[in-house]
Amino acid sequence: MSPSLFARIAPPLFVLIWATGFIVARLVAPHAEPLTFLFVRYILATLVLAAIVAAARVSWPRRWSDWRNSLIAGVLLHGFYLGGVFWAVKHGLPAGISALVAGLQPLATGLLAGPLLGERVSPGRWAGIGIGFMGAALVVAPKLGDGGVPPLALFVCVLGMLSITFGTIWQKRTGSNLDLRVNATIQYIGAAIVTLPLMLLLEEGHMDFTLPLLGALAWAVFGLSIGAIGLLLFLIRQGAVVGVATLLYLVPPVAALMAFALFGETLTLIQLAGMALAALGVAVASRS
């Protein structure tokens, strides 16, 4: 596959794979504690990627600063973000509200990219960000009444959203020189390091090794931890972080379609309109 062709298909492929994370969370919830599941996922992803790095004979970083930068990126992009969202959902935050909170990331990235990265966000891109957020909000709106909103769970979810925002900016600033496979491997080491004490403190390490859990774990490692994160790191390296973050507006619509196909969840006219608005917002932001 030519580099130009891969660059064209990478954004839609990233959205498609990233959206399956909501499906994995739904499949895993009855069978495993969230931080325990994530810790096992990080360890397995580290081992698989380390084997790939060894087979490819890629050099590991020689400078401590490169290790430090990747470890911090892993803590922010994976450890605190996924840990916060999974923990919040497990402790009563409705999935629709968690998706809406995650949908604030492009707005946060747009506000921070200027002072932290020197990226100028054009009026057209701001318009796309606003349109995309309205679309994502409409997609999850029918689910907002599914239950109460525990304040602590909501707060932890917001912290998770801020974590991936800062992680994306940190990765853009520090991770451009490392091989993507090496970078991702070190990131999962960082995620595992920060997740382990939280898991030991908050959970009992429960996992039911049923077929659905094993299938979800396999996809979480190979599809999400390796495939989706590899695409995310590639996109961050190739473009502006605001543009990459705006792609996440397409995740709730795609996840809703997957839930409709797999679990028979209903799709309302409001949600369909939201999907169209989210796609329009990403198109406007991308053009700008």
Q: What is the pLDDT of residues 154-197, one digit of tens each?
A: 899 889 989 998 998 898 888 667 898 999 999 999 999 999 99
Above pLDDT 90, what percent of the chain? 34
pLDDT at residue 176, rounded to an integer? 63
The residue that leads in pLDDT, 3 or 34, is 34
How far apart, in whole angstroms, are the C-alpha atoms of residue 55 and residue 52?
A: 5
**Cα(2)–Cα(7) distance, rounded to whole angstroms?**
9
For residue 38, count CB atoms less than 10 angstroms from its CB and return exposed for 0-12, middle for 13-18, buried for 19 or more.
buried
Q: Is the pLDDT of residue 249 over 90?
A: no
In this structure, the number of other CB atoms found within 10 A of the CB of residue 204 comes to: 8
User: In this predicted structure, what is the pLDDT of residue 272?
Assistant: 79
* Residue that the structure tokens 């999850």 belong to: 140
Q: Flag the least confident range among 27-41, 79-93, 98-112.
A: 98-112
What does the pLDDT read at residue 77?
92
Higher-confidence position of 221 and 96: 221
Assigned token pair, 100: 């809406």
Higher pLDDT, 44 or 147: 44
Residue 175 has what pLDDT? Answer: 63
**What average pLDDT does range 73-95 have in this prediction?**
86
Query: What mean pLDDT, rounded, does the chain reach?
Result: 83
In this prediction, residue 1 has a pLDDT band, given cuts at 50, 70 and 90, of: low
Against a cut of 0.85, is the pTM above it?
no
Residue 264 has pLDDT above 80, yes or no: no
SS3 33: coil
What pLDDT, in 10s, does the model give residues 63-76?
999 999 999 999 99
pLDDT 10s digits, 210-229: 888 999 999 999 999 999 88
pLDDT of residue 144: 62
Instruction: Specify whether the CB–CB gap between 169 and 244 falls below 8 A.
Output: no
- Is the pLDDT at 205 greater than 80, yes or no? yes
> What's phi and psi for 167, nearest 5 deg?
-65, -40
For residues 256 and 156, what is the distance between their CA atoms, to the nearest angstrom? 23
Question: Region 108-127: what's the mean pLDDT?
Answer: 74
Residue 118: count of CB within 10 angstroms of its CB = 7
Rounded mean pLDDT, 32-39: 93
